[in-house]
Amino acid sequence: QVQVVESGGGVVQPGGSLRLSCAASGFTFSSYGMSWVRQAPGKGLEWVAFIRYDGSNKYYADSVKGRFTISRDNSKNTLYLQMNSLRVEDTAVYYCAKEYLRRLDYWGQGTLVTVSS
Amino acid sequence: DIQMTQSPSTLSASVGDRVTITCRASQSISSWLAWYQQKPGKAPKLLIYKASTLQSGVPSRFSGSGSGTEFTLTISSLQPDDFATYYCQQYSSYLYSFGQGTNLEIK
């Protein structure tokens, strides 16, 4: 069955960096676009970034553009989110989600990133 | 960027009620709209896509309608499992955006 499992969250100081990973299984990873979506504590969902199936195009929310980089390794069935220059307001649960015809049909359980001094 | 606005933010209802949640887009998104359900501590779950198509496995009491800028999610007869937060999401452009959510609570 389709599974996406995030890892790499933790506590980091403002200005620091963190790399999240999302391991995919149960589907042909190299055929689907993938997104990262985050949710700050007690808040709603915020789309963060999207990457096409082959990595040829990437899109970012304005709130993270220039600081976060989405990438993928299709040989390892893994999605990444490199987060630099982290801010307190980046504190959130980060979900990776598989796309099918641009809708988010499978989500992981999320990994918590806390930015705090 | 396309802004999505949901109403109401909170909805109190009873088991068996028919409820409707509205989502408005700041510009036309055709039918490129999805609805998700999220329960506390869990990942969102896709319910409806392309405004009105039910995702496989989702009960038929859920339905969606609308196009352009105004959309609705209707639950025909609330079940205990339906009390959750619901989000709309546009995917007309690759800069996706979500509504702020509607918390459906037990009256």
Which residues in A lie closer than 8 A to residue B102 (C-beta atoms)? none
B84: closest CA of chain A, how far (Å)? 13
| CA angle centred on A32, ends A30 and A33, rounded to 5° | 115
Which candidate, B58, B61, B65, B103, places its Cα nearest to that of B78?
B61
Q: Answer yes or no: is pLDDT of B94 > 90.
A: no
One-letter amino acid at A40 equals A
Question: Which residues pair with residue A107 across a beta bridge?
Answer: A97
- The mean of the pLDDT values for chain B is 97
Predicted local confidence at residue B107, as pLDDT? 87
Residue B66 CA to residue A22 CA, distance in Å, equals 34
Return the half-sphere exposure (C-beta side, CA atoms, 13 A cut-off) of residue A37: 29
Average pLDDT over residues B17-34: 97
Q: What is B37-69 written as a DSSP string?
A: EE-TTS--EEEEETTTEEPTT--TTEEEEEETT
Instruction: Kindly report, residue by residue over B45-56, the tens digit of the pLDDT.
Output: 999 999 999 999
Output the tens digit of pLDDT for each of chain A's 117 residues.
999 999 999 999 999 999 999 999 999 999 999 999 999 999 999 999 999 999 999 999 999 999 999 999 999 999 999 999 999 999 999 999 999 988 999 999 999 999 999
What is the per-residue pLDDT for A102? 86
**A50 and chain B: CB distance < 8 Å anywhere?**
yes
CA-to-CA separations, B57 to A106, B47, B52, B78, B99, in angstroms, rounded = 13, 9, 15, 17, 24
Q: Is A34 helix (H, G, I), strand (E, B) or coil?
A: strand
Name every residue whose Cβ is closer than 8 Å to that of residue A28 and which is 6 or more positions away in sequence: none
For residue A81, what are the β-bridge partners?
Answer: A20, A70
Gap between the Cα atoms of B23 and B31, Å rounded: 12
Q: Could you give the 3-state DSSP secondary structure of residue B5?
A: strand
**Which of B4, B32, B94 best probes binding to A when mutated, by most A CB atoms within 10 angstroms?**
B94
Instruction: Report CB contact under 8 Å: A109, B45.
Output: no
Q: Find all residues with CB under 8 Å of B15, minimum gap 6, and list them.
A: B78, B79, B80, B106
User: pLDDT at residue B24 above 90?
Assistant: yes
